[in-house]
Every structure is written in structure tokens, then in C-alpha cells.
Amino acid sequence: MTLRVGAHVSIAGGVDNAVGNQTDVGGNCGQIFTHSPQVWQDPNIGDEEAESFRSGTDRDLDGPWVIHTSYLVNLCTPKDGLREKSLDSMQAEVDAAAKLDIPYVNVHLGAHTGAGVEGGLDNAASVIDDVDVPDGVTILVESDAGSGTKLGGDFEHLAGVIDRTDTDIDVCIDTAHAFAAGYDLSTAAGVDETVAEFDDVVGLDHLRCLHLNDSKHECGTNKDEHAHIGEGHIGEAGMERIVNHPDLMDVPLVLETPTEDGRSYEWNIERVRELRTE
């Protein structure tokens, strides 16, 4: 079974540069922003750039790619203005994904900011159902670290959005986020228990991507700060079980690990390959 592992790489100078940036760090799949994630901005991808990206991906990578939406998107918001901006941004991202032959657009649910959990999940499903998702593109809702009124920290939140939508959506689990939200991934037994709980609550058939990140903080702290693979509080035992768990071995792994201590994506991707035993 091919190990699909890569990183979130830059598109500076053109989205087609992401292909070379991915191969440079040893990845064979990966993730991009289509623009700065800190601003409201539509992707600006030319036809030649898109063709170069598609052909380079077909030539050099196994795939898949994932587009990560702007951090400003808040699907759970009760505020009409923010809802409309989030909807417009989501539409632009799924259209960009179709243009680039990228199968997944990953989004955080956001914060309900007083609407309550049920109201926030209703709001998120409503936005998703208003997106005209092109054929071949799937929206992935990402697990969250669970701080404040942000939703997605509990697997039940992810299942709740899936149940509420008429749109076929799937899920991306971030290992650091899940750990911060209270799912103990630091031991083989803990990983097995978490995978079984996810399957029971959400369903493994909905798991399309793993953001593979270690955590600088302990389980259940709701603190989202990523660490090098095997070097954080999840640690080597947990990471080794994640990358070798029989129900996860075919799920693409996208790293969002830090660049520090003389280590960057290349080191972390190689570490994942070393931990893979089968």
C-alpha cells in the first residue's frame, strides 16, 4: 500500500510552483492555500498556471492535493455578513479546486459565538448546502482543538454537520487538534480507541485526509501548537501507531509541522517514512 505523505507548501510565484515545492521536501501529496489565509481574497489562477499545475501533479506526484480555506471563514457564525463572506469564499475555493483538478477543499467549522452548539452546526450545514460544489470536488470539515466556542473538537460535531447537510461532505482529522481536544493519541491503545470511536460516531468511510502533526501541549489542553513528528506530547509511540493503523494506512497524510530546530518538512516527512513499518 503506497504511503501518501506530503506537506502544506507555498504557491509563491504561481500555484504550479507547489508541485516542485512538494517534491523538494519528499512529498507525494499535499495541501495549499490559494491565497493568503489571513485575508478575504479570491484565488487568481490563470489557465496556463492551472494547466502547468495539473500536468506537473500528474507527472511527479501520487496525490491528492487539498485546498485549505482562509482562516477567516466561519461556517458556524450567526452573523449574516460573515456568513455571506464565508459562503463567497467557499464558492471561490471549490471552483479553484475544480480548475486545478484538486479533489478536496478543507475548512474549519469555526465558532458559534453565542449561537450554541446546535445552532452553530445548523449554520454550518446551511452554508455548505448553499455552495455549488462542482463534480469531483468534496468539502472536508476539519477537526478542531476545541477552544472557546469553536466547533469540531468533538467527533459528534463532525457527525452533526454531516447529518444536517444534503451535500456529500467528508472529514479531515488533525492529530494535534484531536489530541488537544482530549483524544489521547500518545499510545497504541489510545490510537486504537480513538479510531474506533471515530468510526462509531462519524464513520471511517468519511475520513479522507489526516493532518499529521504532533503537539507541543498535553492532551485535553485545547491548545493548538504543532510539534515535529514524534517529538511532541503525542510522541513516537502514538505517531508510529497512527501511520501503521490498518484503518488509516491508505489515508493521505498532510503535515503542517513547524520549521525550527534545524528541521523542516523534509525531516518530518522522512520521519514518517521511518515510522511506517509495512
pLDDT in tens, 131-157: 999 999 999 999 999 999 999 999 999
| Gap between the terminal Cα atoms of the chain | 8
% of the chain beyond a pLDDT of 70: 99
Amino acid at 199: D
**Helices 265-275 & 235-244, crossing angle to 10 degrees?**
70
pLDDT interval class at 36 (50, 70, 90): very high
Using a cut of 0.75, tell me whether the model's pTM lies above it.
yes
For residue 1, pLDDT over 80 is answered with no
Q: Quick one: pLDDT at residue 2?
A: 87
Dihedral of the CA atoms 46, 22, 142, 223 (nearest 10)? Answer: -120
Q: Could you give the CA distance from residue 22 to residue 234 in angstroms, rounded to a whole number? A: 25
How many domains are there within the chain? 1
What's the rounded mean pLDDT across residues 231-250?
98
Predicted pLDDT of residue 107: 98
- pLDDT for 278 beyond 80: no
Cβ-contact 229, 242 below 8 angstroms? no
106, 209 in Cβ contact below 8 A?
A: yes
Mean pLDDT of all residues in 166-183: 98
DSSP secondary structure string for all residues of 154-192: SHHHHHHHHHH-SS--EEEEEHHHHHHTT---SSHHHHH
Cα dihedral across residues 4, 276, 20, 36: positive or negative:
positive
Q: Which residues make Cβ contacts (< 8 Å) with residue 100, sequence separation at least 6?
A: 15, 45, 50, 53, 54, 65, 67
Instruction: Give the model's pLDDT for residue 204.
Output: 98
Give me 53's grid cell: 499545475
b/e per residue 45-67 (b: at least 16 CB within 10 A): beeebbebbbebbeeebebbbbb
User: For residue 118, is pLDDT > 90?
Assistant: yes
Strand bridging mode 207-211 / 253-255: parallel
Torsion of CA 32, 242, 173, 59, to 10 degrees: 30
C-alpha cell at 225: 501548537
Q: Which residues contact 68 (CB under 8 A, 6 or more apart)?
A: 8, 31, 32, 33, 37, 106, 107
Q: How confident is the model at residue 169 (pLDDT cuts 50, 70, 90)?
A: very high
More confident residue, 199 or 261: 199
Say what percent of the chain tops pLDDT 90.
Answer: 99
Q: What is the pLDDT of residues 256-271, one digit of tens each?
A: 999 999 999 999 999 9
List the grid coordinates of 185. 493519541
Tell me which H or E stretch contains 210: strand 207-211
C-alpha span between 276 and 278 (Å, rounded): 6
Give the mean pLDDT of the chain.
Answer: 97
pLDDT at site 64 = 98
- Compute the distance between CA of residue 176 and CA of residue 174 in angstroms, rounded to an integer: 6
Confidence of residue 186 (pLDDT cuts 50, 70, 90): very high
What is the domain range of residue 252? 5-275
Task: Assign residue 27 the CATH number of its domain.
Answer: 3.20.20.150
Nine-digit cell string for 46 = 490563470
- What is the rounded distance in angstroms from the CA atom of residue 79 to the CA atom of residue 64? 34
Give mean pLDDT, residues 85-112: 98
Of 174, 117, 179, 171, the C-alpha closest to 149 is 117
